Amino acid sequence: MSELKGACIIGQSGGPTSVINASAYGVIRAALDCPSITAVYGAAHGIKGVLDDKLYDMGQEDAGELKLLLNTPSSELGSCRYKIADPDKDDTDYKRILEIFKKYDVRYFFYNGGNDSMDTCNKISKYMQKVGYECRIMGVPKTIDNDLFGTDHCPGFASAAKYIATSCAEVYKDARVYDTGMVTVIEIMGRHAGWLAGAAALAGVVGCAPDLVYLPEVDFDMDQFLADVDRIYKEKGNCIAAVSEGIHYADGSFVSEAKTSATDGFGHAQLGGLAALLANMVKERTGAKVRGIELSLLQRCGAHVASRTDIDESFLAGKTAVETAVAGETDKMVGFECTRESGKYSCRTKLFDLSQVANFEKKVPLEWINKEGNGVTQAYIDYALPLIQGAAEAPTEQGLPRFARLRKVLAK
C-alpha cells in the first residue's frame, strides 16, 4: 500500500459519553504526530460541520488543552443526529462532502459515534470509491448503550456503568437509613439493550446490590414487578429496583409511555418518566414510602468517575484508527477483542468491517439474565467488572473539573 498524504477530518456524532473526547484526542494526537497527515480538522457538529464547511484547525490548539480532552465529557467538537440520505436516492450531501474533501485535500476521515455513525462512514466510503476519490475512512466507536456489533464492548459503556454502579451503591446506603422502610426505583438509560441497567448489579460486588434489575431484553410484567417489590419490601423492609428506560410489555409498548389509571383517572401520560411512574404504582400497591430516581444525563457525562480502563481504551481506539488508516486500512471500525481468563482481563484492538457493524444492535444475551427476568447472572458481572477498573484521576481547578478549553479556530 502506497503512502497516502493529505489532511484528515475527525467528527463526532450521536449522544455523547464521558470518554468520547478521549477517542477524539486519540485521533487528533496521533494525526498531529503523523508525517503523512498534513492537517487535522475537527468537524463542528459531525457531518453537519463538513456540509457547512465549518472545520476547526486542530493544529492551532495548545497541546495541554488537547490532552484535557481525556477527561472532558460530552462531544467537544459538537455532535449531530443528522441522518445522511441513501446515495442512490439523493447524492446531494455526498457531492458536497466530496467538494469539501477536495477543498481541504482530505484523505482521511474518522467518525466517532454509534450505529448511525458507522452507517454514515460506510455510505461516504462507498460513494468516494464510486467516484474514484482516494480516501480512507475509519469508524471510532462510542456508545454508552454498548450495542455495537462485533466488538467486545464499546468505548463509553464502562464509564457510564461505573457511574451507575457507584451511584447505586451510594443510594443503597442512603435508601435504608431510616427505621421506616422505602422502595426506590432507579431509572437507567438503554432504550433497546440492557447493558447499562445490568451495571446496577455491579454494586453487589461491594455488598450494595439492588434487589431487582429489569432489562428490555425480556418482556416486562407489571403485576409480577409489583409482586416482586411487595415481597422483598415485606421481607427486608426495603427494596431497590433498577429499571431500564426501555422496558416494555409483551406487546412491545414501552412501560414509560403507558397510560396508567392508577394515579390519574383520565389516563394522562405521566411527565416525570418511568421511575416516577413505577414508584407511584408501588406506592399504591404497597403503601410504602417510595422514591423514583432517574439518572438522566448524569450517567453519560459523569467524567469525574469515569473508568480509567475506558479512558485508556477510548484513546487507544482513536489512535489505532489513525495508525491503521495511514498503514492502508479503510472501511473499518476499530473495536476490541478481550479475554477474561482466570479473572485476568486483557484487551487488544481489532478491526471490523463497517458494513458488518452498521445498523445492527447487540443485546445482552438472554442466558445472562436470570430466569425470573429480574436480575443478571454472574456471567454479566464477569463480563462488565473488568471494564470499570481504575480511577479517572481527572484534573481539577479550585475543586471542580478542569475541562479542555479549545480555541476552535476555523480552518480557511
Binding-site member from 92, 339, 359, 389 for its own copies (CB under 8 A): 389
Q: How far apart are CA 276 and CA 292, in angstroms?
A: 5
Amino acid 137 reads: I
Q: What is the contact mask toward its own copies in residues 26 to 45, using x (rule: CB under 8 A)?
A: -------------------x
Kind and range of the H or E run holding 348? strand 346-353
| Site for its own copies contains 66 (CB under 8 A) | no
Q: Strands 332-339, 37-43: parallel, antiparallel or unpaired by DSSP?
A: unpaired
Q: Which residues in 317-376 contact its own copies (CB under 8 A)?
A: none
**Considering only 2-10, 59-67, 77-85, 316-324, which stretch makes contact with its own copies by CB under 8 A?**
77-85
Residues in the chain: 412
The nearest distance, CB 174 to its own copies, in angstroms, is 4
The answer to whether residue 187 forms part of the interface with its own copies (CB under 8 A) is: no
Q: How far is the CB of 190 from its own copies (least distance, A)?
A: 17
Return contacts of 343-346, CB within 8 angstroms, 24+ apart. Answer: 345/386, 345/387, 345/389
CB 72, min distance to its own copies, A: 7
Query: Can 353 be counted among the known catalytic residues?
Result: no
Q: Can you list the pairs that 84-91 forms with residues at least 24 positions away whose Cβ atoms lie under 8 Å? A: 84/47, 84/119, 84/120, 84/123, 84/124, 86/123, 87/123, 87/126, 87/127, 87/130, 91/127
Contact assessment for residue 335 and residue 187, using Cβ atoms and an 8 Å cutoff = no
- Nearest to its own copies of 165, 411 (CB atom): 165
Give the nearer residue to its own copies in terms of CB position, either 31 or 274: 274
Q: Which stretch binds its own copies (CB under 8 A): 31-39, 85-93, 272-280, 344-352?
A: 272-280
Give the Å distances, CA to CA, from 286 to 171, 228, 306, 318, 374: 21, 11, 37, 50, 19
Among the listed residues 29, 123, 136, 162, the single contact to its own copies using CB under 8 A: 162
The C-alpha atoms of residue 54 and residue 5 are separated, in whole angstroms, by: 22
CA distance 107 to 102: 9
Asked if 120 interacts with its own copies (CB under 8 A), we say no
* 208 contacts its own copies (rule: CB under 8 A): yes
Assess 220 for contact with its own copies (CB under 8 A): no
**Is 280 a residue that touches its own copies (CB under 8 A)?**
yes
Per CB under 8 A, 399 contacts its own copies:
yes
Catalytic residues: 145
